[in-house]
Amino acid sequence: MRLQKDGSEMRNEIIIIGFVAICSLLVAVFGDGDLDRDLEITWGDGRARMVGDNNNEQILKLSLDRDSGSGFQSKNQYLFGKIDVQIKLVPGDSAGTVTAYYLSSLGFAHDEIDFEFLGNLSGDPYVLHTNIYTQGQGDKEQQIYLWFDPTKNFHTYSILWNPLNVIFYVDGTPIRAFKNLEARGVPFPKNQAMRIYSSIYDADQWATRGGAVKTNWSEAPFIASYRNFNDRHACVWTSSSSSSSCSSHHQYSWLRHSLNASGEAMIKWVQKNFMIYNYCTDTQRFPHGLPPECSSP
């Protein structure tokens, strides 16, 4: 591991980290979602609940014990959107647990855009796992370490999904972009409406160090907390009319947004410093050639 950086590298990282902090503040200011209005608890037999904090702010808590996890979903379906939520992850020894937050159409040939947070032994960094499915086909995994402790405070996790690309953000920092490369034969999720889902569940057969570290049930219940769900920049799909609330509003800038050079540089910074797995570099997994989206356009 290289411990020292030259002056230009240090200046670049200071600029990027400063920009990250500004983005984080802006996202926090604009979060104004109503959890009762926008979300519904779907399973867990009482393990998921809505509470108020000291500022009378809505907090949705999902918990996991030896008997069951819990989960919620959005009341709306979406066909494209920018959707934010703030999450505080399970503290302490969370090994074996997974907190998942994702868009999905469900079903055999489903589309899906995933954030998954893999638990850890106390003191180890959290692993953030992302993936994208189109027509039931995934195999597009990337994993990074987060550059902060996600259990101490709420942090904002965002998905921007439009006809051009899918971009994952953490506190306003783009960490991954998946471009629409249908012209090169790469399927892209654009035809199926999706809901937001979130759950906490036991996955100690694979989640922590490939399943080597098992869930310590003496630490249960494991609790993840949510606030400030924001879907106001999303196209709500109405199945009865087979139409989207954005179908006639092409002026929405996020529908045309893709990363500029600065955004691409931030993703490269994340990959250089925090990436631990990228399917696009896994030649053992793809011995006959990497997927076409892995090569430069």
- Judged by DSSP in three states, 165 sits in strand
Residue whose C-alpha is closest to residue 87's, from 101, 104, 98: 101
Active site residue 112: yes
Structure tokens at 147: 């550059």
What torsion do the CA atoms of 21, 27, 29, 31 make, to the nearest 10 degrees? -150
Q: Which of 9, 116, 141, 264 is catalytic?
A: 116
Q: Which of 13, 40, 57, 112 is catalytic?
A: 112
H/E segment holding residue 39 = strand 39-43
Amino acid at 100: A
Structure tokens at 84: 């934010």
Active site residue 264: no
Residue whose C-alpha is closest to residue 252's, from 237, 238, 233: 233
Q: Is 146 left (phi over 0), alpha (psi -120 to 50) or beta?
A: beta
Query: What backbone torsions phi and psi does residue 3 show, to the nearest 5 degrees?
Result: -100, -20
Q: What span, in angstroms and rounded, lies between the C-alpha atoms of 16 and 2?
A: 20
Q: Give the active site residues.
A: 112, 116
